[in-house]
Chain A
Amino acid sequence: MPKDHGIGASSKRREDIRFLTGRGAYTDDLAMQGQVHAVMVRANVAHGRIVSIDTSAAAAMPGVLAIFTGADFADVGGNPAGWLIHSRDGSPMREPKRPVLAHGKVRHVGDAYAAVVAETHEQARDAAEAVAAGTEIEELPAIVDMAGAVANADNRVHDEIPDNLCFDWGWIEANRDAVDAAMKAAPHVTTLELVNNRLVPNAMEPRASIGEFNPGTGDYKLTTTSQNPHLTKLLVCAFVLGIPEHKLTVVAPDVGGGFGSKIYHYGEEALVLAAAKKLGRPVRWTAERSESFLTDAHGRDHVTTIEVGATLDGEILAIRTNTLANVGAYLSNFSTATPTFLHGTLMAGPYKVPHVYVNLKAVFTNTAPVDAYRGAGRPEATYSLERAIDKMARELKLDPVAVRRKNLLTPDQFPYTTPVGLVYDVGNYQATLDKALDMADLAGFEARAAKSRAAGKLRGVGLSTWIEACGIAPSHLVGQLGSRVGLYDAATVRVSATGTIQVMTGAHSHGQGHETVFAQVVAEKLSIPEGAVEIVHGDTSKIPFGMGSYGSRSLAVCGSAMDRALDKIIAKGKKIAAHMLEAAEGDITFENGSFSVAGTDKAKSFGEIAFSAYVPHNYPLETLEPGLEETAFYDPNNFTYPAGAYLCEVEIDPDTGKVTICSFTCADDFGNVMNPMVVEGQVHGGVAQGIGQALVEHTAYDENGQLLTASYMDYTMPRADDVPFYQVDHSCATPCTHNPLGVKGCGEAGAIGSPPAVVNAVIDALHRAGMTHVTHIDMPLTPARVWGAMQA
């Protein structure tokens, strides 16, 4: 019987009741007394010098209350990058200021250089048009192409950065010579140039912010679409506006998806706060979908050459990559970590590879900032590696499954120190591979391929054995790697007098299902009903601190903090029980929700202890305080390393180039699983996004820096009929060795492991049909691209 309660049960997502019945409360749903509306004035050229801004006509328009330009924020701070990267020569990365509003220059289409606040949204929009009409911008040549950006020293995104280079990073620089030598000596070297396509995050809810200021108290409040309200608070207070931290509350209410794009602090958040202060009225701003396309931090956008040195029987000897990574016009908060420490450190994959070296140059261009997007760096690493290994197998006429098997780490090799700086604690990559092959019935492939052939279709199968590092934390590690903050998390468990529980978590749920899953963990640990537990998140005034949700960290890091806080609750409960039962604290055991004196039938239920904690009469106050509330901060000592094997089967219509995914099989190791249904849902969503990247999602700027795919008319999102019914398994679990729940994180896996499986399957189908000249097609594999490759 599967469990119906607590850890391991597929408890229904309690948050869905409000989400699915229209009772969620998103930022734009919240109406404030006396509210006014902000509209941003955005650049319609990618690169230009602001010659003049005449706001007088706009200021005289009906309803207009205030107009801001870059000059108004020239003296406040910029929005900083969270990670400091050093170049190979030891110099620190170039960090141009990212202002609240562009000043002097605009640097990408959509870059806001002014904002209008008016009584109504339409009035603000009318006035914003008038500001635009009153603005003279001298257009400069746009810097779009990365190679061109680096080569052309005369044209600069930031005047002070001569070669548009943020940094030139080597990982690990000390490996470089050994890798070069190993590559030279390798009997076979496979080389592959590939593009990891830029993606627009497309959260269902566009970004929105409301700023409030109370002139009576001097208190500010920011309600905003954030995955990470505490970080936003810290950035606004300590870096951008200088508001004393105790005077700002940041609330991220229901948030409709983020996929990374809502981790970061954006200028509009500072703008609504500054405007609220000036006007003494709530100021609200909600992005239109076109603004989301132009200004949400985009994802991926790497151009990579990967080389794999191998023996003739497919043993990998060395891996070397050279990558240009687009950071766009400004550094978004994690933009320097994503292509480096979330990417270069994963370049050994799940394989035993003696030599690995990664060179990555981060390049400024006149495009939207690029930052972490579901998977963040790890999909880029996995894609390069899994595509290159497939190509290597093909070149050596070896079976791609056998090549992987030959190189995968074996269970006895853990803990395993990679040549790129990580220590994998545990895993069983053979188990997930075997499981995936079995579930997908690889043995029956030939028969299915024959059927496809008979119907005029080309069938292929593609594999990806992936690993990632998540549960983004270890402060000591990320600190060494350049993070300017520690990445622990925190939780407070508050037991009420009647024994119900609120847990305040630093992790933020914007679709993941924390409110359900975290409650399951509490219920299990205390043997109480899940319904007696409420998870509170997204409000900095209620929660001690937190580093938000991203990097598949919520359960592994914040869940562990909660587990620690529960340990403290139990310890305190034992103290109370010892007092009530007149026994020694050391004799009290806690089991099945009951505190009892070992070896006796004397016991107090959890509810009795809770009640006693709040209505004490005779506590020895020097040694026993009333109340039952505990906080824990948790900082793990390593990342977690989920891994798995994905198998994709496709059919190509040779007449049109259209790829149909026939089946997609995932065998994942996420360690212990708290709620199988929620985990499965995370994998479904992640794989859908990976299939989106592989087959349909394409972000294109023209040579003038205009975004060609700026709406759903041209930007393709994967839809239900683009994806198959998935086969998902997570039974091959090796629990994480270093967090108390043994969990690894499942939020990004699907998006990390799936793109190479899809592309490998398409190449396989073409090769089986004799088109061996097609060794690679860049994503997305649209019908036009596949057909084009077939003709070449």
Chain B
Amino acid sequence: MYNFEFAKPATITDAVKALAAEDAQALGGGQTLLPTMKQRLASPATLVSLNAIPEMIGVCVNDKGEVCIGGATTHATVAQEARAHYPGLAALASQIGDPAVRNRGTIGGSLANNDPSACYPAAALGSGALIKTNSRDIAADAYFQGMFATALAPGEIITEVRFPVPQKSNYQKFVQPASRFALVGVFVAKYADGVRVAVTGASTDGVFRWAEAEAALSADFAKGAIDALSPPKGDMIADLHGSADYRAHLVKVMTGRAVAAAG
């Protein structure tokens, strides 16, 4: 690790100000950023912690019935506090990493990082969530822009994420054996106006929606509805842990399981 300055603002306004400094970077739970810094692969001049900004922490339900999660809310808090309102989302949060990771890692950090194998992107895209930043609102469909790429501008921070609550939902995660991130993760959500299916871990383009499955499941929300589909096309990740064919196959298997589990 190289030396760095540390700022711990108490308001979003102060955080944005601090992030305007040269080579300043936001710090959420540090579960991705700190290991990178330890390996000297990142060297921010200033870390701006978002963990002491009360308006960015917590889970609530707004007038529209959306679950609103502060950008610096930990996975553990979401797993606990969103359970009554959006069980599918809470269950996803409860499967991220291990207890230590869940007690520090944040939803904002996860979505900002947009690791192609991360879990939250599947929930956000699969729910059609709204990503609120210090300067604007971004629809999930416009937010994810490929592996580790998002619509965020430099210095922009995710302050809140709003999830419309589906009638039924489920996340199925097939773990990469070493990291236990998602080798393939599928989030299925059934809304009154249709079904969304978001896939993480599989594609070289990062999280994506599987349109054919959405159409089939919107017509008939049953496991068998996707039987006739061939696995999604597109560039699947091929690595030590699985070939492209294997990942494509798993997308279908996990989608089926998610539908069955959603009930």
Contact indicator B179/A782 (Cβ below 8 Å): no
Q: Are A784 and B246 in contact (CB under 8 A)?
A: yes
Q: Which of B13-21, B73-81, B209-217, B235-243 forms contacts with chain A?
A: B235-243
Instruction: Using known A-B contacts A290-B39, A656-B253, determine if residue A788 contacts B177 with beta carbons closer than 8 Å.
Output: no
Residue interface bits A643-670, CB-to-B below 8 A is 1, else 0: 0000000000001111000000000000
Within the complex, the shortest CB–CB distance from A689 to chain B, in Å, comes to 16
Q: Does A714 contact B (CB under 8 A)?
A: yes
A788 is contacted by which of B174, B179, B246, B253 (Cβ under 8 Å)? B246
* CB atoms of A656 and B250 under 8 A apart: yes
Within 8 A of A (CB), among B162-177: 174, 177
Cβ of A452 under 8 Å from chain B = no
Tell which of B39, B179, B240 touches A712, judged by Cβ atoms closer than 8 Å.
B179
Q: Which residues of B contact A656 (CB under 8 A)?
A: 174, 250, 253
Contacts of A782 in B (CB 8 A): 177, 241
Binary per-residue interface labels of chain B (238-262) against chain A in the complex, 1 for a CB within 8 Å, 0 otherwise: 0011110110011001000000000
Please, what's the 1-or-0 string for B2-19, where 1 marks a CB less than 8 Å from any CB in chain A?
010000000000000000
Pairwise interchain contact B179-A655, C-beta atoms closer than 8 A: no
Known contacts A696-B177, A714-B178, A782-B177; is-contact A709 B240 (Cβ 8 Å): yes
Which residues in B have their C-beta under 8 angstroms from that of A712?
Answer: 178-179
User: Which residues of A are found within 8 Å of B40, using beta-carbon distances?
Assistant: 125, 129
A511 within 8 A of B: no
Name the contact of B177 in the complex, choosing from A122, A783, A787, A791 (C-beta under 8 A): A783
Interface 0/1 of B213-243, CB less than 8 Å to A: 0000000000000000000000000001111
A387 close to chain B: CB less than 8 A: no
Asked if A700 contacts B253 (CB within 8 A), the reply is: no
Residue of B whose beta carbon sits closest to that of A125: B40
Task: Give the chain B neighbours of A788 by CB distance below 8 A.
Answer: 243, 246
Residues of B in contact with A, size category: 10 to 19
- Contact between B240 and A698, CB atoms less than 8 A apart: yes
A407 within 8 A of partner (CB): no
Which A299-345 residues have C-beta < 8 A from chain B? none
Query: Which residues of chain A in 79-102 are interfacial with respect to chain B, using CB atoms and an 8 Å cutoff?
Result: none
Instruction: Give bound CA distance, A172 to B263, whole Å.
Output: 65
CA distance A610 to B246 in the complex (A): 72
Q: Which of A290, A658, A784 has the most CB of B within 10 A?
A: A784
**Of A129, A657, A715, A787, which one neighbours B178 at CB under 8 angstroms?**
A715
> For residue A791, which residue of chain B has the nearest CB?
B245
- In the assembled complex, the Cα of A717 lies from the Cα of B177 at a distance in Å of 9
* Contact partners of A584 in chain B: CB under 8 A: none
B178 contacts A713, C-beta separation under 8 Å: yes
Contact residues in A for B39 (Cβ distance below 8 Å) = 290
CB distance from A483 to the nearest CB of B (A): 37
Measured in the bound complex, the distance between the Cα atoms of B139 and A82 in whole Å is 65
Convert B24-59 into 0s and 1s, putting 1 for each residue whose CB lies closer than 8 angstroms to a CB of A.
000000000000000110000000000000000000
Bound-complex Cα distance A784 to B201 (A): 14
Complex: chain B residue closest to A719, CB-CB = B180
User: Chain B: which residue is nearest A129 at the CB level?
Assistant: B40
Q: Are A784 and B241 in contact (CB under 8 A)?
A: yes
> Known contacts being A290-B39, A655-B253, A712-B179, is A787 close to B246, with CB within 8 Å?
yes
How far apart sit A342 and B257, CA to CA, in the bound complex (Å)? Answer: 48
B177 cross-chain contacts in A, Cβ below 8 A = 696, 716, 782-783
Question: Are A708 and B246 in contact (CB-based, < 8 A)?
Answer: no
A716: chain B residues within 8 A (beta carbon): 177-178
Scan residues 118-164 of chain B and give those whose CB is less than 8 A from a CB of chain A.
none
Residues of A within 8 A of B249 (CB): 787
Q: Is the CB of A708 within 8 A of B240?
A: yes
Give the nearest-CB partner of B246 in chain A: A784
Question: Which parts of A340-367 form the interface with B (CB within 8 Å)?
Answer: none
Residue-by-residue, is A101-142 near B (CB-CB < 8 Å gives 1, otherwise 0)? 000000000000000000000100100010000000000000
Q: Which residues of B contact A784 (CB under 8 A)?
A: 241-243, 246
Question: B147 CB to closest chain A CB, in angstroms?
Answer: 15
If A713-B178, A713-B179, A714-B179 touch, whether A700 touches B246 (CB-CB below 8 Å) is no
Q: How far is the CB of A252 from chain B (nearest CB, A)?
A: 28
C-alpha spacing A783/B249, complex, angstroms: 12
Q: Please give me the residue from chain A that is nearest to B38 by CB atom.
A: A288
* Contact partners of B246 in chain A: CB under 8 A: 657, 784, 787-788
Once bound together, how far apart are the Cα atoms of A782 and B106, in whole Å?
A: 31
Q: How far is the CB of B239 from chain A (nearest CB, A)?
A: 8
How far is the CB of A583 from the nearest CB of chain B, in Å? 68
Cα A712 to Cα B39 in complex, Å, equals: 14
Q: How far is the CA of A125 from the CA of B249 in the complex (A)?
A: 45
B247 (CB) vs chain A CBs: closest residue: A784
Which chain A residue shows the least CB distance to B178?
A716
In the assembled complex, which residues on chain B have CB atoms less than 8 Å from the CB atom of A658? Answer: 174
B177: nearest residue on chain A (CB-CB)?
A716
CB contacts under 8 Å to B, within A34-86, are none
Query: Once bound together, how far apart are the Cα atoms of A696 and B183, in whole Å?
Result: 14
Q: Specify which chain B residues have a CB less than 8 angstroms from the CB of A657 in the assembled complex.
A: 246
Q: Which chain A residues border B253 with CB–CB below 8 Å?
A: 655-656
Tell me, in angstroms, the Cα distance from A712 to B243 when the chains sit together: 20
Query: Beta-carbon contacts of A715-756 to B below 8 Å, as 1s and 0s?
Result: 111000000000000000000000000000000000000000
**Shortest CB–CB separation between residue B95 and chain A, in angstroms?**
13
Distance between Cα atoms of A74 and B12 in the complex (Å): 59
**Complex formed: what's the CA distance from A762 to B243 in Å?**
21
Nearest-neighbour CB distance to chain A for B227, whole angstroms, equals 13
Max chain A C-beta neighbours (<10 A), residue from B240, B249, B250: B240
- For B1, the chain A residues whose CB sits under 8 A away are 122
Interfacial chain B residues near A715, Cβ < 8 Å: 178
In the complex, which residues of chain A have a beta carbon less than 8 angstroms from the beta carbon of B3? 122
Distance between B175 CB and nearest chain A CB, rounded to angstroms: 9
Whole-angstrom CA separation of A696 from B241 in the bound complex: 10
Q: Which residue of A lies closest to B253 (CB)?
A: A655
The answer for the CA separation of A657 and B242 in the assembled complex, in Å, is 11
- What residue in chain A is nearest B1 (Cβ atoms)? A122
CB nearest neighbor in A for B250:
A656
A782 to chain B, nearest CB (A): 6
With A784-B246, A788-B246 known as contacts, the answer to whether A700 contacts B240 (CB < 8 A) is: yes
Whether B240 pairs with A714 at a CB distance below 8 angstroms is yes
Instruction: State in angstroms the CA–CA spacing of A664 and B248 once bound together.
Output: 33
Q: Chain B residues with Cβ under 8 A from A129's Cβ? A: 40
Residue of B nearest to A718 (CB): B177
Distance to closest chain B CB from A208 (angstroms):
18
Given contacts A129-B40, A700-B240, list 7 more A-B pairs with CB under 8 A: A122-B3, A655-B253, A658-B174, A709-B178, A782-B241, A783-B242, A787-B246
- Across chains A and B, which 9 residue pairs bring their CB atoms closest together, nearest first? A716-B178, A784-B242, A716-B177, A713-B179, A655-B253, A784-B246, A714-B178, A696-B177, A700-B240
**Which B residues form the contact surface with A (CB < 8 A)?**
1, 3, 39-40, 174, 177-179, 240-243, 245-246, 249-250, 253
Task: Give me 14 A-to-B residue pairs in the complex whose CB atoms sit less than 8 angstroms apart, sorted by A's number.
Answer: A655-B253, A656-B174, A656-B250, A658-B174, A708-B240, A709-B240, A712-B178, A714-B178, A716-B177, A716-B178, A783-B174, A784-B242, A784-B246, A787-B246
